[in-house]
Amino acid sequence: MPSDFDDLVFFVNGKKIVERNADPEMTLLTYIRRKLGLTGTKLGCGEGGCGACTVMISKYDHFQKKIIHYSINACLAPVCSLHHTAVTTVEGIGSVTSRLHPVQERIAKAHGSQCGFCTPGIVMSMYSLLRNTPQPAMEEIEEAFQGNLCRCTGYMSILEGYKTFANNSGCCGGKGKQDGCCMNKEETNEMYLQPGLYDPSEFKPIDPTQEPIFPPELLLFDRLSSKQLQFKGERMMWIQPCSLSGLLSLKAEYPDAKLVVGNTEIGIEIKYKNMLYPVILAPGYISELNIVQHTEEGIIFGAACTLTLIGDVLRKAVSELPKHKTEVFQAVLEQLRWFAGQQIRNVAAIGGNIMTASPISDLNPVFMAAGCKLTLLSKGGKRVIKIDDKFFTGYRKTALKPQEILLSVEIPYTRQGQYFSAFKQASRREDDIAIVNCGMSVLFKEGTNVVKELLVSYGGMAPTTVLARKTCGQLIDREWNEELLQEACCLLAEEMSLPPSAPGGMVVYRRTLTLSFFFKFYLTVQQKLVKDLGANKYHAEHLSPGYASATELFHKDFPSSVQIFQAVPPGQSMEDVVGRPVVHLSALKQATGEAIYCDDMPRYENELYLTLVTSTKAHAKIISIDTAEAMEVPGVVCFLSYKDIPGSNITGPIVLDETVFAEDTVTSVGHIIGAVVADTQAHSQRAAKAVKITYEELKRTITILDAIANKSFYQPIRKIERGNLDKGFQEADHIVEGEMHMGGQEHFYLETHCTLAVPKGEDGEMELFASTQDATKTQALVAKVLGVPSNRIVCRVKRMGGGFGGKESRSTLLSTVVAVAAHKVKRPVRCMLDRDEDMLITGGRHPFLGRYKVGFLKTGQIVAVDVTYYSNAGSSTDLSLAIIERALFHMDNSYNIPHIRGLGYVCKTNLPSNTAFRGFGGPQGMMIAECWLSDVALKCDLPAEQVRKINMYKQGDVTPYTQKLEQFTTDKCWEECLVKSNYHQRRKQIEEFNRQHRWKKRGIAIIPTKFGISFTASFLNQAGALIHIYTDGSVLLTHGGTEMGQGLHTKMAQVASRALQIPISKIHISETSTNTVPNTSPTAASVSSDLNGMAIYNACQILLKRMEPYRNQNPKGSWEAWVKAAYFDSVSLSATGYFRTPGINYDFEKNEGNPFHYFSYGVACSEIEIDCLTGDHKNLSTCIVMDVGLSLNPAIDIGQIEGAFMQGVGLYTLEELRYSPDGNLYTRGPGMYKIPGFGDIPTEFNVSLLREAPNSKAIYSSKAVGEPPLFLASSVFFAIKDAIYAARTESGLRGPFRLDSPATPERIRTACADKFTKLCPPAEPGTYTPWDVQM
């Protein structure tokens, strides 16, 4: 082996890169951001699960003999894997300063970019698709985004913008024409009230001839290299052999070396599991490992063939070969449909998938049931083995010998009389790991329904992929009939058992799925037998149309949407942009990657990087901290602890009950103990992992039930009460009692917490660049920890990549630590948390337990409610008291209950402190309300919408906290939503559907919301603004709010534009900073437009008054002329504005005064369909009618409604934080924690802004919009509950039943009790330690 190492040669955006010291541990993302300064590509998760880092790779494919383009995750791609390729990043396709690419333009102008952090990745996924398919089908567009996540927009605006590229968008086919426009429904005048949020005809056409050319130099390497490549880093060597013999020699020399093609598994092991592989072999360019060979028995794929290539080959085979030969191929394709995202499939190799030996591999159960053959090779020779139950020898272990490699896989044809199916169930349909998956194959004796061979293989039921050998053996020579089904289910229930403490949890659900999948297979085979043998020869008992739906593969139409809003009044000046759908001011920059986020700021010359050291115990004393090994890591400068703090270690946003660093005790897993500062992120992270801490564990409180048992509560316990409960319950005809648990939620802003601290070197001054919603609190707490006055600290916020409340108070956890580090080393220090750190440390939405007792009349009229809320606050107070208060303020939702009492307990537990999250306790309070209302409807056997309507507030009613409802519009929203959603007709259609289908059920629900607008802490309802007018007429606007994607800066520029009567183009907002507007309130509670808008208006009026004499003197003059005249007359052209909300004065002790300035109202109707056998569901339609007053910007408001709704869909149906019994968070990234994806949006998603509903209490008659729509997603939850009730009724179960939130597939399936669930009873609680516990 040569001793010298090679140069790495590749291209980035057309520029040649020659890297002399390529580090095998460095990813492409780190390289382009740190070494090339291309910061458009973002780090969102580091595990290939969010798509923020998507770039396009182009290379000459030696095996296909052509140039290929494909998207990849730059966060997983080792830079060493890119030799002789061309990389295109978002900066390489267009720029706001030169030419926008149509892909960039359309997402921005279609309002598909809010915070913008995910936008470059989405742009590059679309761009890669268009490079291969200039006119893609709608399905191809959706598939291209399977590996991309967005937390802000709700996805619809992105799809609407990009479907303009499609060849079959279905719109516009013209109104009234058959199969034409998606708006082909009964016309109303209302549809013509608005001109549309944008005009697609203005989009630039795409011109494939204008795309960057493939670097000609790379075409010179059109033959495979005959030279072996080697790259060496500090700890790892990367060898790219050029021949099969060379690979075998290397494998003999380094038997423990890992073979890497896509790095989609090894990359994650190195980053997250602390694994180190000194030698990596990269065999991706060896021809024998890339073969595709058709034989008489099947198709042979080289082990390095990517999953994308395999999909293409199998699809072609399915289209050309007789159907009976391709059953396995179709099963593989069905699994690939839902296998990760496109970026992963483009690079992941089939050999890697097999050799990883994951127990939840999507393909291994298929390969095992199909009896696929593997060819193994070593210097010692070749052998061929089958993938059977002996191949996987243990958890992530196979039968390969250390020196052997996997050469190829043969996927066989199926035979006449053989039937094959594959199934998978995951938490989310797209890009998710399986809970259980399977491959099933049956071969019948010729011309009969007698089983000759049966193979049933499962993933997710053991440490390895397993064959149900005993069950299969017992069913040979049996007829395929009801008797076989019953016996198979009993045998499988016994053979596929799991211990109740099994890793992964969901034990009963997983066992039930094994039976449900077999039942689906049984019915599928029945259908095929009837077709192939004929109904006379084979009679099928179950083949009623009602059962046939159980065999249908998942299908969802491309989503469509309608947005209805009120046009601006006739005669409004074109320069007056208030009420117009102005594009987000940063959208174009976000689409080109030119928008700068905190971690995009250029490096300072002497900058250092910090990594946190956190607790691994929930409650323990710290016995010792050993940093010796950490300090030996190259580049390490120092270790920080509480001993390094110059000021106070005591901190907290309201109550000072936290520490910057733990001193002698830790109170949660993730509690910050110390930090390592080093020259690079890689070094600081490596050193942080080397810090050794010993603990003495203490008694811990983890769950709400633990806290109740231990009486572990923060004080005070809050109460709101009105009426006479005893009297109310006496008047009631019926009383129902129940409880509901609602899980927490991770914010999952795409940009994690980030701070850059720059010490100024004199007077204790420091400048902080932070991703925070509360610059003032950051300033104050950093000043406190450094022991200096606040006037020495400046906090600056350009923009955030999402916030949702998660950066309101918890951002100071990081900022204070980074500031201490910068103070100590007297150099700039930066830290951006990795996704797993962020999820572990910073907390999320509070889990809630609600217990209720409800008295009601036979008519459904509710007369008395007694409800108690318990929230899991975690290890510090944070904002939890305000959150439980808001839950109590929303315990009535939209219903007038004469006798009601609410109690709120804040539970003190050993979890990272939970915090603000969009809705701030309101969604939890209203969810419990809708739960007891649903119970009342079921108990009375009345339609839920009828019970909701008769209990609904009316104009002038008074809430339990004595606030009178003025400008009440829920009733208007309700009636409009009933009409727009076609509710009553849909209800009839659903009842008919449910009569005809046994294993699929549909449900519908219509839900109102009433959300109080104001900070409940009255002193926060104030804001300031600063406006500078420069002598050229340009205006610099600064206000107290921060931009996190919600379009606040855009709306504020619109407000200033109208107030000053100048074009919006003259106004610029640079950033939010504590040295321009002091003492700001956090950007939260949905009030930022109200507060800052009024402060800006105030400042504008001051300036207009000063300029009035010059306007009067020269009425026909220009703005610039008036400005100059004022300046030359020595008039100040700078003004501060201020506003405080009047009348916020609620007193909990007296239950009097108003907690809110006004309310936002809305109603949503959703229809869903569930699969009763798996618990899967799909969102069929949602119609929202929302009162936003007179919208300042309908595009931004509709975007907020859609985004909040989809975040709520995650909260109520998908997102589940899972903790171990000892308080350790399992769900630390997109691999295990699932937010909604593109495929989760309702197929029909319509949003209407209520017309003629001006709000007299906010700027220009507008209303708050950020939080109120989120709760409307509970309509999906209650539609699911409606469908479950239909399934339970068919099983003979009636009346109220408990369904906790989120309504995950596990909960849906378990609630649909049937003969299969009875075969899998749960273990007795208390007889085992569960893998996870409900918080």
Within 503-569, where are the H helices? 507-533, 545-548
Other beta carbons within 10 angstroms of residue 943's beta carbon come to: 13
Q: Where are the alpha helices (DSSP H) in 772-921?
A: 775-786, 811-825, 835-841, 880-889
Cα angle at 1264 between 1261 and 1267, to 5 degrees?
Answer: 165
Only one residue has tokens 């829920």, namely: 970
Distances (CA, A) of 1013 to 803, 960, 1087, 1149: 19, 16, 7, 21
* Cis status of the peptide bond prior to 1302, with omega within 30 of 0: yes
Q: Are strands 1158-1171 and 1134-1140 parallel, antiparallel or unpaired?
A: unpaired
Contact 500, 1327 (CB under 8 A): yes
d(CA 1042, CA 1078): 13
- CB within 8 A of 782, min separation 6: which ones? 757, 766, 768, 793, 795, 812, 815, 816, 819
Select from 728, 634, 716 the least CA-distant residue to 680: 634
3-state SS assignment for residue 846: coil
Q: Which one of the listed residues 91, 837, 1267, 1290 is annotated catalytic? A: 1267
Q: Tokens 């994308």 belong to which residue?
A: 308
Q: Which amino acid, residue 586? A: S
Tokens 């739960």 label which residue?
931
**E strand or H helix at 293:** strand 292-294
Q: Note whether 523 and 551 are within 8 A (CB).
A: yes
Longest dimension (CA), the chain: 104
- What pairs with residue 340 in β-bridges? none
Question: In the chain, what is the straight-line distance between the N-terminal and C-terminal CA atoms, in Å?
Answer: 56
Report the alpha-carbon distance of residue 1243 to residue 331 in Å, rounded. Answer: 25
Round to whole Å and give the CA distance between 1272 and 1270: 5
| CB of 1308 closer than 8 Å to CB of 1284 | yes
- Euclidean distance between CA atoms 1255 and 1190, whole angstroms: 7
Number of H helices, E strands in the chain: 37, 47
Pairing status of strand 66-73 against strand 54-61:
antiparallel
**Among 52, 32, 31, CA closest to 43:** 52
Q: Give CA–CA dist 595/1254, Å, rounded.
A: 35
Q: Which helix (H) or strand (E) holds 128?
A: helix 119-132
Annotated catalytic, 143? no
Q: Are 262 and 352 in contact (CB under 8 A)?
A: yes
Give the strand order in the sheet containing 1035-1039: 1067-1068, 1035-1039, 1022-1029, 1134-1140
CB neighbourhood size of 487 (10 A): 14
Residue 566: both structure tokens together: 């009120």
3-class DSSP assignment, residue 881: helix
C-alpha–C-alpha distance, residues 794 and 782, integer Å: 10
Query: What one-letter code names the amino acid at 904?
Result: G
| CB of 945 closer than 8 Å to CB of 894 | no
E-assigned strands of 20-114?
54-61, 66-73, 86-88
Q: Record the tokens describing residue 1225, joined without a space.
A: 């968070």
How is residue 34 annotated by DSSP?
Answer: I
Residues tagged active-site: 1267
